[in-house]
Structure 1
Amino acid sequence: MEVAQVLHMNGGMGESSYANNSLLQQKVLCMTKWVREEAISKLYRDVPRGSLAIADLGCSSGPNTFFVVSEVIKHVERLCLELKIESPQYTIFLNDLPGNDFNNIFKSLESFKHKLNHEIIGGTAPTCFFAGVPGSFYGRLFPHKSLHFVHSSYSLHWLSQVPEGVENNKGNIYMGSTSPPNVFKAYFHQFQRDFSMFLKCRAEEVVEGGYMVLTFLGRKNEDPSSKDGSYIWQLMATALNHMVSEGIIKEEEVDSFNIPYYSASPSEVRREIVKEGSFSINRINVSEVNWDASNEWKPMESEYSESEILVSGDGGYNVAKCMRAVAEPLLLSHFGEDMIEQVFKRYQQILTDRMSKEKTQFVNITVSMTRRSA
Structure 2
Amino acid sequence: MDVAQVLHMNGGSGDTSYAKNSLPQQKAISLTKAMREEALTSLYLKKAPRILSIADLGCSSGPNTLMVLSELVKTVENLCRKMKHKSPEYQFFMNDLPVNDFNNIFKSLDSYKEKLSDELGAEIGPCFFTGVPGSFYGRIFPTKTLHFVHSSYSLQWLSRVPRGVENNKGNIYMACTSPSSVLKAYYEQFQKDFSLFLKFRAEELVEGGCMVLTFLGRKSEERYSKECCYIWGLLALALNDMVSEGKINEEQLDTFNIPQYTPSPSEVKLEVLKEGSFTITCLEVSRVHWNGHDDDDDWNNAFDSESLNNVAGYNVAKCMRAVAEPLLISHFGEAVDIEEVFRRYQAILTDRMSKERTEFINVTISMTRKD
Asked whether 1:346 is paired with 2:329, we answer no
In the alignment, what sits opposite 1:32? 32
Residues 1-374 of structure 1: matches in 2 within 5 Å?
Answer: 1-121=1-121, 123-297=122-296, 314-337=311-334, 338-373=336-371
Equivalents in 2 of 1:132, 1:58: separation in Å?
11
1:312 to 1:184, Cα distance in 2 relative to 1, 3 A: closer
Cα pair 2:157 2:261 within 8 Å, conserved: yes
SS state at 2:10 partner: coil
Equivalents in 1 of 2:242, 2:141: separation in Å?
45
Give the aligned residue type for 2:333.
Answer: G
Cα pair 1:5 1:98 within 8 Å, conserved: yes
Extract unaligned runs of 5+ from structure 2: 299-307
SS state at 1:262 partner: coil
Deviation at 1:295, TM superposition (A): 2.9
1:64-117 Cα shifts (integer Å, max 9, x gaps): 120111100011000011111111111000001111111111111111111111
Deviation at 1:298, TM superposition (A): 9.6
Equivalents in 2 of 1:313, 1:9: separation in Å?
24
1:134-173 Cα shifts (integer Å, max 9, x gaps): 0100000000000000000000000000000111000000
1:32-90 Cα shifts (integer Å, max 9, x gaps): 10000010111111221211000000111111120111100011000011111111111
Equivalents in 2 of 1:116, 1:76: separation in Å?
13
Deviation at 1:296, TM superposition (A): 2.5
CA RMSD across the alignment: 1.4
Cα pair 1:27 1:297 within 8 Å, conserved: no
Equivalents in 1 of 2:266, 2:354: separation in Å?
32
Give the aligned residue type for 1:289.
Answer: V
SS state at 1:325 partner: helix
Equivalents in 2 of 1:22, 1:90: separation in Å?
26
1:29 to 1:191, Cα distance in 2 relative to 1, 3 A: same
Give the aligned residue type for 1:328.
Answer: E
Equivalents in 1 of 2:288, 2:280: separation in Å?
24
Equivalents in 2 of 1:113, 1:312: separation in Å?
38
Equivalents in 2 of 1:253, 1:170: separation in Å?
11
Using the size of structure 2 for normalisation, the TM-score is 0.95
Deviation at 1:231, TM superposition (A): 0.6
Equivalents in 1 of 2:156, 2:100: separation in Å?
17
Extract unaligned runs of 5+ from structure 1: 300-310
SS state at 2:160 partner: coil
Deviation at 1:313, TM superposition (A): 6.0
SS state at 1:150 partner: strand
Equivalents in 2 of 1:298, 1:129: separation in Å?
39
Equivalents in 1 of 2:171, 2:309: separation in Å?
30
Cα pair 2:310 2:350 within 8 Å, conserved: no
Cα pair 1:175 1:225 within 8 Å, conserved: yes
In the alignment, what sits opposite 1:306? none
Equivalents in 1 of 2:297, 2:340: separation in Å?
29
Equivalents in 2 of 1:23, 1:90: separation in Å?
27
SS state at 1:14 partner: coil
Using the size of structure 1 for normalisation, the TM-score is 0.94
Percent identity among equivalent residues? 65
Deviation at 1:297, TM superposition (A): 4.3
Cα pair 1:10 1:328 within 8 Å, conserved: yes
Give the aligned residue type for 2:370.
Answer: R
In the alignment, what sits opposite 1:308? none
Cα pair 1:117 1:126 within 8 Å, conserved: no
Equivalents in 2 of 1:320, 1:298: separation in Å?
22
Deviation at 1:335, TM superposition (A): 1.3
SS state at 2:337 partner: helix
